[in-house]
Amino acid sequence: MSTEEKDTTHFGYKTVKTDDKETMVASVFHSVAKQYDVMNDLMSFGVHRLWKRFTIDASGVRPGNSILDLAGGTGDLTAKFSKLTGPQGKVILADINSSMLNVGRDKLRDLGIVGNVDYVQANAEALPFDDNSFDIVTIAFGLRNVTDKDKALRSIYRVLKPGGRLLVLEFSKPEHDLLNKAYDFYSFNILPKMGELVAKDGESYQYLAESIRMHPDQETLKSMMEEAGFEQTTYHNLTGGIVALHKGYKF
């Protein structure tokens, strides 16, 4: 890789300085944080709840587990994990974006979820946790926004316990051409307008649509996880491959 390639990265379809991407992504999520949950329901017609339920079911969570919900945003997965791990367990809701973290904290506290949940502002590329700390790490709809995904995967691998597992829930590549075309039309013609009407920010939702197209496809992400050290790596396509759940273990 040339020096120029190392110094630049993508922000949606734009090429930007690598050092600038984190700030630009932060601006997007500061803007959309308060309407994030509403927009998730509207954008996915509520199906995101089923995708997240599938992730919880696939995690193998047990009472007493220690779990890191990375890029956990408004806390949907944390809320479920908190109940399933019980008082002897621990769930950390971590997000690089303070606005998203604050919305998540307020939401979970309003739901009465306290005691076994901590909140940490953290960068996935350099997690501030000890080696071998977690039984499970999840990152749902967050990996595509990370500047250096390979570095983040290695950081996650480090903090997992031996026998621990990573689950990556993320938008991916639809399996069928007709679905892909319909998805493109929706993403680039409907989604930004919806963002403008509801969140008063069409540009951020334009970026989110573009960031999905720039994210590695199913097989590429699987290979990246294996390069980071994960074993028995698999993925399961959801909604025709619009979303995929990747899973890998640390042994």
Select from 211, 167, 172, 161 the least CA-distant residue to 188. Answer: 211
Q: How many domains does the chain have?
A: 1
CATH label of the domain that carries residue 144: 3.40.50.150
**Binding-site residue set:** 74, 95, 123-124
Matching residue, tokens 């997007």? 28
**Binding-site residue set for S-adenosyl-L-methionine:** 74, 95, 123-124
Q: Is 202 domain-assigned?
A: no
pLDDT band, residue 25 (cuts 50/70/90): confident
Q: Is 235 domain-assigned?
A: yes
Secondary structure letter of residue 229 according to DSSP? T
Q: Is 189 domain-assigned?
A: no
Q: pLDDT (tens digit, 9 = 90+) per residue, 75-133?
A: 999 999 999 999 999 999 999 999 999 999 999 999 999 899 999 999 999 999 999 99
Q: pLDDT (tens digit, 9 = 90+) per residue, 45-85?
A: 889 999 999 999 999 999 999 999 999 999 999 999 999 99
Q: Could you tell me the residue range of the domain that residue 224 belongs to?
A: 3-175+207-249
Q: Is 21 domain-assigned?
A: yes
Answer for the pair 136, 167: CB distance below 8 angstroms, yes or no: yes
pLDDT value of position 5: 53
Q: Is 201 domain-assigned?
A: no
The answer, yes or no, to whether residue 3 has pLDDT greater than 70, is: no
Q: Is 180 domain-assigned?
A: no
The answer, yes or no, to whether residue 1 has pLDDT greater than 80, is: no
Q: Is 193 domain-assigned?
A: no
For β-strands 14-17 and 134-140, DSSP reports them as unpaired
Residue 175 has, within 13 A of its CA and on its CB side, a CA count of 8
Q: Calculate mean pLDDT across residues 184-205.
A: 85
Q: Is 91 domain-assigned?
A: yes
The answer, yes or no, to whether residue 153 has pLDDT greater than 60, is: yes
d(CA 104, CA 245): 22
